[in-house]
Structure 1
Amino acid sequence: MSVKIRFLPDDVTIEAEAGEPMLIVAKRAGVLIPTGCLMGSCHACEVELDNGEAICACITAIPAGCEQLTINLYSDDNW
């Protein structure tokens, strides 16, 4: 099932498949999500979903059962 992914603040939209790794979708869209440990421990890749939930993009796949997902990127100057 195809999911419409919208990356903010740059307003980049791309189609993705449920279960596809979020970092791969971002890379395909030309969106950089900073990474650190790639295991979800350091939170360098933390993004916020449209429902306000903060997640680590490095260990998250595009969820099934939704038609659209907005991902809010923010950068931490310490990384």
Structure 2
Amino acid sequence: MVQVEFLPDGVTTTAEPGEPILAVAARAGITIPTGCLMGSCHACEVELADGTSICACISSIPAGQPVVTINLYTDPLW
């Protein structure tokens, strides 16, 4: 199991490596905005603790890390 923390609110849950980020967020009561659900529109873009930006709709919880921090931010144009 991986501990997943969603910032800025500090909501924490657990997930299996490979589990879709959107599913983990929904289970934790977090809504990540989506658009195309194919990674093209970037409406669901989030940032990992290392600063890497990823599209949550096509990404999963990475393996090999005991803790994953996902920083949520919103685009005011969406």
TM-score normalised by length of structure 2: 0.98
Q: Which residue of structure 2 lines up, in the alignment, with residue 17 of structure 1?
A: 16
Give aligned pairs, total: 78
Give the 3-state SS of the residue equivalent to 1:69 in structure 2: strand
Paired letter, 1:11: G
Deviations 1:10-59 (A, max 9, x none): 10000000010000000000011100000000000000000000000000
1:78, distance to aligned residue in structure 2 (A): 1.2
Consecutive unaligned residues of structure 2, counting only runs of 5 or more, are none
Consecutive unaligned residues of structure 1, counting only runs of 5 or more, are none
| Distance of 2:62 and 2:12 partners within structure 1 | 16
Give the 3-state SS of the residue equivalent to 1:65 in structure 2: coil
Paired letter, 1:15: T
Q: Which residue of structure 2 lines up, in the alignment, with residue 42 of structure 1?
A: 41
Give me the identity figure in percent.
67
How large is the RMSD of aligned CA atoms in angstroms? 0.4
| Distance of 2:70 and 2:38 partners within structure 1 | 19
Q: Which residue of structure 2 lines up, in the alignment, with residue 8 of structure 1?
A: 7
| Distance of 1:62 and 1:48 partners within structure 2 | 13
| Distance of 2:15 and 2:57 partners within structure 1 | 16
